[in-house]
Structure 1
Amino acid sequence: MRAIPLTVTALAAALVLTACNSGGDSGDKGKSSSACKIGGVSVQVGSASLAPAAGDTGEIPVSITNQSAPCTLEHFPGATLEGGATTAALSAQQGAKAQKLKLVKGDSASFTISYVRGAAGGKNSLAAKTLKITLPGGTDSQSFPWKYGPVAGKTKPGDQAFVSAFQQVGD
């Protein structure tokens, strides 16, 4: 006889707990984060490993530090090179896999822009002057001068520049 009341009590407790957490994130209210916005982070284009001559490869590190409420970086960064009337949206590096990173205030992430230097005045070279960076899920951008020479292209100007996935910086 004693087993039935205990079973009923355990079942009732389980139902109450299930009702309290009905699939939502009620335990995390206020802690969930939305997509990082370019206006809420500081962006720094670091010291580059320059491509000195046409056909050489260079790499430019880009650091992002959250300056506001917790946010998430999911998918790849956006980067566009502009030179005169020509623009080139950078593709993700072949084989790179995006990861989801949560950044609280003060946390940093980075990515790398890899490029093949083009020949000055070459048919598919992009004489880039500006680098525009956007974050996943946003359209606002931040611009930086491009000081790394023309970018090569195989089928169109500048198509030989790529972005890596975001990587967590620090712990």
Structure 2
Amino acid sequence: MRTRPIAVPAALAALLLLAACGGAGGGGGGDGKRESTTCSVDTVSMEVGPASVAPAAGDTGEVPVGFTNQSAACTLDGFPEVRLAGAGDSATVEVPPAEGATAQKLTLAKGESASFTLTYERGAPGEGAFDAEELRVELSGARSFRWTYGPVAADGPSGHKISVSAYQQAGD
């Protein structure tokens, strides 16, 4: 009586399993999962606030920005790209990540939400403070919101006292 080596049936079973799942590369999508793409302003609803406004020069304020995915799964990776713009786009300030913050990659299914927070120090007009009029959030496109939280304090000759947190999963 002749016996077959165990490796032949195992290899055949693995080959059949790969064929049923759409191949070894995973690009076939035969398992029902869809690969996520980068979230964009076209696929998420976005809202700013309610903010904890800095009432006077030297005070610290926080402005949350939340968004909900309205489409197929999408990812957020790295830090939010945020800019403040002055009157008539005369000047812009790129908002850097908060010191010590760690970026994370999030995948949002349809209906899931995430947020980030801007932390700023209110400045006194005329003391190097940036008088922002618009907040721009760039997420594979840009969406703009009115900045009503006062001037942002100067931080030395070329910076301003504002930073952005990493993306955070919101909700359950």
| Counterparts of 1:111 and 1:169, CA distance in 2 | 9
| Counterparts of 1:109 and 1:42, CA distance in 2 | 11
CA gap of 1:156–1:105, structure 2 versus 1, over 3 A, is farther
- Give the match for residue 23 of structure 2: 21
The total of aligned residue pairs comes to 167
- Give the match for residue 107 of structure 2: 102
- Give the match for residue 129 of structure 1: 133
In the TM superposition, 1:32-71 aligns within 5 A as 32-71=35-74
Contact 1:41 1:66 in 2 (8 A): yes
CA gap of 1:43–1:144, structure 2 versus 1, over 3 A, is same
SS in 2 for 1:125: coil
CA gap of 1:27–1:94, structure 2 versus 1, over 3 A, is farther
Deviation string, structure 1 residues 40-67 (Cα, Å, up to 9, x no partner): 1111001111112212111011101111
Query: Shift of the alpha carbon at 1:38?
Result: 0.5
Identity of paired residues, percent? 50
Query: Shift of the alpha carbon at 1:69?
Result: 1.9
The gaps in structure 1 that reach 5 residues or longer are: none
Backbone CA RMSD of aligned residues: 2.1
Residue type of the alignment partner of 2:41: I
The gaps in structure 2 that reach 5 residues or longer are: none
CA gap of 1:35–1:28, structure 2 versus 1, over 3 A, is farther
SS in 2 for 1:95: coil
Contact 1:125 1:158 in 2 (8 A): no
Q: Which runs of 4+ in 1 moved over 6 A?
A: none
Query: Shift of the alpha carbon at 1:155?
Result: 3.0
- Give the match for residue 114 of structure 1: 119
Deviation string, structure 1 residues 15-59 (Cα, Å, up to 9, x no partner): 554576323344456511100110211110011111122121110
Residue type of the alignment partner of 1:53: A
| Counterparts of 2:96 and 2:43, CA distance in 1 | 24
Deviation string, structure 1 residues 72-110 (Cα, Å, up to 9, x no partner): 111111111111312101001111111111112211101
Task: Determine whether 1:164 maps to 2:165.
Answer: yes
| Counterparts of 2:2 and 2:157, CA distance in 1 | 79
Task: Determine whether 1:86 maps to 2:91.
Answer: yes
